[in-house]
Amino acid sequence: MANSGIGALIDLRGIERVFYLGDSEVHALHELDLRVAAGEYVAVMGPSGSGKSTLLNLIGLLDRPTAGTYLLEGRDVTTLSAEEQARVRSTRIGFVFQSFHLVPRLTAAENIALPMMLAGIAAKERTARVKQALTDYGLADRAEHRPDQLSGGQRQRVAIARATIMQPALILADEPTGNLDRATGEEVVRLLEQLNSRGVTLIVVTHDGTLGARARRRIDMEDGSVKHDTALG
Amino acid sequence: MLPFDILRFAVSAAAGNRLRTVLLMLAMSIGVAAVVVLTALGDGARRYVVNEFSSLGTNLVIVLPGRSETGGFNPANAITGTPRDLTVDDALAVRRATAARRVAPLAVGTSEISTGGRLREALVVGTTAEYVEVRNLKMGQGRFLPDDDWNHGAPVIALGAKVATELFGNATALGQFVRIGDRRFRVIGVLASSGTGLGMNTDELAFVPVATAQQMFNSNTLFRILIEARNRDAIEIAKQQVRDILKQRHEGEEDVTVITQDAILATFDRLLGTLTLGVAGIAAISLAVAGILVMNVMLVSVAQRTPEVGLLKALGATGGVIRSVFLAEAAMLSAAGAVIGYGLGLAGAVIIRTLYPALPAYPPDWAVLAALGTAMVTGLLFGVLPARRAAALDPVLALAKR
């Protein structure tokens, strides 16, 4: 199922990503093949420099592979123009970052509404959807607060609400609990898992073993390749 | 992204960094204010001069002795050499010109006027009855010089308002006698106060019949002949007729200069209009400097907001959206700065008008439009580079930046 390639949400084949630092070439990703089916819950683990963040950026269309093909929902997205990739990110992919990446001058509600604003959705619909999201994530009384008036957990909930407001098929989380204490982190992970249980594909990059252990599928990376994938046994 | 949202986002970004916003608007407003104030000054000077000339009279043709332009060779020049003086007979002859409505000869000299122990130096103008109409002057009391034979002057005098007050105080000047040199004159009129006209203050003049003045100054020449044409269209005809008459009288030699008030006006109008354009150009340099500052500030803004740009890209913003957001911010701040500068400029013009009431320092409409337009264009133009730079940022690197 996971490696059939047919009907896979993400299908990476022979991916290479080379960075040039001065004279030296760094192979951040090397001969990487990966297939993720819709609705999976995947933890990508590995030491720093193993290429897991590069992989996440690539899947999130923030970066392009040096070689190889990437099919997202059966469509080759590596050949898309930057503008088309932006549209795919807007509608299909949600990002959750370690440092939340909220716009400091915007309120929680405005931060959540940001993807809809960028997509050109009318203000009236935005307001309704933001209101629903604020309620869903327990932030109703925090709507008009700015990020610096929110706790770390609240900030990450705002970030998750923002990542899901466009109802993407895929959520990419880069160390989502990295800046949170254990209890708050636990709460955030539960939120993400709830999303996954409703059918959203969830890919979490972490080096936290306990967090990784909760995922149904675990991918261990080393030197730019997949060292171990629980789906492949 | 909807246009209104772009604008709102730009506003929040501008409000997010007050100092940057204030600096940018300040630069832009100084530029616009400079253009508004300087053009107000330039145009004020132009209006001032034009007004001064207009107050000379209407449809005026002025004859000066001597020729200031070079003409073709005239055999008469070889014999006479020096130009003939203008005489009262010349002025009388000029009255024959059909296009001329009124003619006033002018003989001028400085003399002391005294009465009852008071003495004042004044410019004594020898002229005729029509002078008061030619110059559009008003009488305060009495009447102006009598309309009699130009070659025989009566011992009468009309005083400028200031001369009258200085000689007689609050007492009535009318009917009193004043003395100029060894002659006695009866005051028959006092002119209404009219203020300055081309630096020559009519209030400080004394008018006597032209023949009397010539006797007094022991000369038979005229300083000027003023001619009022029948109407505006007749000015050129009058000029030609006057020239022809005087040429004929001066044995075919064209040894006078005939100028029209319109020509002087047009020359000054052009001259000072160019001057205004010049200062506007100089002021526009400050707008260009403001534009460069806009670019600088926006580039810093892009650098500071790199993570935000990365985030916007991750959230699905296209390069076009990012460009619009930054461009909108530059345009908005430029526009706000321009409007503030316009206000400051108008205030500056008010201050100038208060300090120098004679100077009608109003900025011309074209300058205001040009200043606001230039501010917007420079703001946008110099906003393009930072906006493009923001749009071109690599999202991965942008997000990673702290």
| ipTM of predicted assembly, 2 dp | 0.91
Contact A85, A61 (CB under 8 A): yes
Q: Is A118 within 8 Å of B307 when comparing Cβ atoms?
A: no
- Min distance B10 CA to chain A CA atoms (Å): 12
Q: Provide, as residue numbers in chain B, all residues whose Cβ is less than 8 Å from the Cβ of A123.
A: 2, 4-5
Q: Is B315 within 8 Å of A90 when comparing Cβ atoms?
A: yes
Say if A63 falls within a structural domain. Answer: yes
Q: Which of A57, A101, A103 sits opposite B396 (nearest CB)?
A: A57
- Sign of the alpha-carbon torsion through A49, A51, A52, A55: positive
Say if A105 falls within a structural domain. Answer: yes
Q: Is B316 within 8 Å of A101 when comparing Cβ atoms?
A: no
Q: Quick one: pLDDT at residue B200?
A: 66
CATH at residue A14: 3.40.50.300
Q: Is B16 on the interface with A (CB under 8 A)?
A: yes
More confident residue, B73 or B111: B111
Going by pLDDT thresholds of 50, 70 and 90, the confidence category of residue B187 is very high
Tell me what the pLDDT averaged over chain B comes to: 86
Going by pLDDT thresholds of 50, 70 and 90, the confidence category of residue A90 is very high
Q: Is A182 on the interface with B (CB under 8 A)?
A: no
Q: Quick one: pLDDT at residue B47?
A: 85
Picking from A62, A100, A125, A148 by the largest number of B CB atoms within 10 A of its own CB, the best residue to mutate is A62
Going by pLDDT thresholds of 50, 70 and 90, the confidence category of residue A87 is very high
Bridge partners (DSSP) of residue A172 are A95, A203
pLDDT tens digit sequence for B77-107: 555 555 678 898 999 999 988 999 999 999 9
Q: How many structural domains does chain A have?
A: 1
Q: Is B18 on the interface with A (CB under 8 A)?
A: no
A93 pLDDT more than 60: yes
Range 296-315 of B in CB contact (< 8 A) with A: 307-308, 310-315
pLDDT mean over A154-163: 95
Contact A169, A10 (CB under 8 A): no
Q: Quick one: pLDDT at residue B282?
A: 86
B292 pLDDT more than 90: no
Say if A3 falls within a structural domain. Answer: no
Tokens of B19: 């100092």
d(C-alpha A109, C-alpha A125), whole Å = 13
Q: Is B15 on the interface with A (CB under 8 A)?
A: yes
Say if A34 falls within a structural domain. Answer: yes
Q: Which of B16, B314, B319 sits opposite A82 (nearest CB)?
A: B319
pLDDT tens digit sequence for A1-50: 444 445 789 999 999 999 998 889 999 999 999 999 999 999 999 998 89
Contact B318, A83 (CB under 8 A): yes
More confident residue, A39 or B279: A39
A60 pLDDT more than 90: yes
Say if A1 falls within a structural domain. Answer: no
Query: How far is residue A37 from each of residues A9, A58, A197, B102, measured CA to CA in Å?
Result: 5, 17, 14, 106
Going by pLDDT thresholds of 50, 70 and 90, the confidence category of residue A173 is very high
Q: Quick one: pLDDT at residue A132?
A: 95
Q: Quick one: pLDDT at residue A2?
A: 45
Domain span at residue A151 reads 8-232
Strands B60-65 and B224-229: antiparallel
Going by pLDDT thresholds of 50, 70 and 90, the confidence category of residue B285 is confident
Q: Quick one: pLDDT at residue B3?
A: 87
Picking from A103, A148, A160, A174 by the largest number of B CB atoms within 10 A of its own CB, the best residue to mutate is A103
Q: Is B7 on the interface with A (CB under 8 A)?
A: no
Q: Which of B1, B313, B319 sits opposite A120 (nearest CB)?
A: B1
d(C-alpha B194, C-alpha B139), whole Å = 10
Q: Is A166 within 8 Å of B316 when comparing Cβ atoms?
A: yes
Spans of all domains in chain B: 3-53+276-400, 85-249
d(C-alpha B159, C-alpha B175), whole Å = 12
Range 218-257 of B in CB contact (< 8 A) with A: none
pLDDT mean over B284-290: 84
The distance between the two most distant Cα atoms of chain B, rounded to a whole number of Å, is: 103
Going by pLDDT thresholds of 50, 70 and 90, the confidence category of residue B196 is low
Q: Quick one: pLDDT at residue A1?
A: 43
Residue A186 has a CB neighbour count (10 Å cut-off) of: 16
Q: Provide, as residue numbers in chain B, all residues whose Cβ is less than 8 Å from the Cβ of A110.
A: 12
pLDDT mean over A198-202: 95
Q: Provide, as residue numbers in chain B, all residues whose Cβ is less than 8 Å from the Cβ of A97.
A: 399
Nearest residue of chain A to residue B320 (CA atoms):
A83
Q: Name residue, tokens 């913003």.
A: B317
Q: Quick one: pLDDT at residue B73?
A: 54
Q: Provide, as residue numbers in chain B, all residues whose Cβ is less than 8 Å from the Cβ of A122.
A: 2
What's the whole-model pTM score? 0.71
State what percent of residues in chain B have pLDDT above 70.
94
